[in-house]
Amino acid sequence: MAEVSKEIQDKAYEAVEIARKSGKLKKGTNEVTKVIEKGVAKLVLIASDVNPIEVIMHIPVLCEEKKVPCVSVGSRSDLGAAAGLQVSTASVAIVQEGDSAELIKDIANKLKSS
């Protein structure tokens, strides 16, 4: 999965933080995989420092199949913090956007054009 710009990563983190307060998130690879397959994920973030990488390799492929924007972000610890967790997490999906809907649209458009 291609690394995206710092701007898109920052917006993705911001979308997660907003959705955490006003929408609904799913955290962890199993939960994220389920919501992508059900077609309810609005935006997916994957940490680029997951080891072994096989744990999350299927997520970008699923996202492409289901037309869900998918952003690779820096670290599991930052992703966990953005999602309001005390621990790091490999992936997070926004299921209900809450107040982050416009931000998610913006991210999706930037991903298409990059």
Give the residue extent of every domain in the chain.
Answer: 6-113
Q: Does residue 3 register a pLDDT over 90? A: no
The SS3 of residue 41 is coil
- Residue 2 confidence (pLDDT) above 90: no
| CATH class, range 6-113 | alpha beta
Q: What share of the chain is helix, strand, coil (3-state, %, to 5)?
A: 55, 15, 30
For residue 112, what pLDDT band results from cuts at 50, 70 and 90?
A: confident
28 Cβ partners below 8 Å, 6+ apart? 89, 90, 91
